[in-house]
A and B are shown apart, each in its own frame.
Chain A
Amino acid sequence: DTEVTQTPKHLVMGMTNKKSLKCEQHMGHRAMYWYKQKAKKPPELMFVYSYEKLSINESVPSRFSPECPNSSLLNLHLHALQPEDSALYLCASSQGSNTGELFFGEGSRLTVL
C-alpha cells in the first residue's frame, strides 16, 4: 500500500464554520506533512509532524490547527477561515523527516465563502 488518502476531496465552508480535513497512510511512515497549494503555485509547507510530534509550524495562523492522533492519521482542523484560505490542501508522508521521498495524497480542495 503506497497510498496517502485524504478526505474530503472537496469542501465548501462559510467563514464561521468549523470543519476538518483528514489524512491517512499505512506505509509505516513516521513523518507527515500539510502543504497548501494555490492555483499555478508550488506547494507551501504548513506543518510537519515527526513521530506524532509537531516539529515544524511555518507561522501558520491559528485558525488552522493540526492534530496527529496516531502514526497513521493526520488531521487539519479549520475554524473561522477567510476566503483567501481557499486552496488545495495536500497531505504527505515520508519514512522519516530526513529520509525518503514524500508521498502525496490527492488533496482536499477547500473553498471558503
Chain B
Amino acid sequence: QQQVKQSPQSLIVQKGGISIINCAYENTAFDYFPWYQQFPGKGPALLIAIRPDVSEKKEGRFTISFNKSAKQFSLHIMDSQPGDSATYFCAASSQDSSYKLIFGSGTRLLVRP
C-alpha cells in the first residue's frame, strides 16, 4: 500500500519557469512532511520541510504548500534553474513512528537552459 503518492514521475521545465511537484497522503496521523533532493550519484538530502500547523513554508526559491483537508502537499520551485535538475522525493512521518519516513516514488526534474 503506497501511503504517499507523488506526481508527476518526470517533469521538464524551461529555465526561469515554475516547477510543481505534488504529493497526496492517506494517513491522517502524519504530522511532518519533508522534501528531499537527490543529484545523480549522490544520496538524497533534506531540502525543506513543513508541519501541518502552517499552510505554506518558503525558503528561497522553494515553497511547500500544504492542504490538510485535502491531504495534499506540493513543492514549488520558482525561477527554476538548470542546477535544480535532480530527483525530488516527498515524504511523511507520524509522531508515533517518528523515525520512519514514508517516501513518495520520486519526480525526476529536468530544467532546460
Whether chains A and B associate is: no
| Residue positions of A touching B, CB distance < 8 A | none
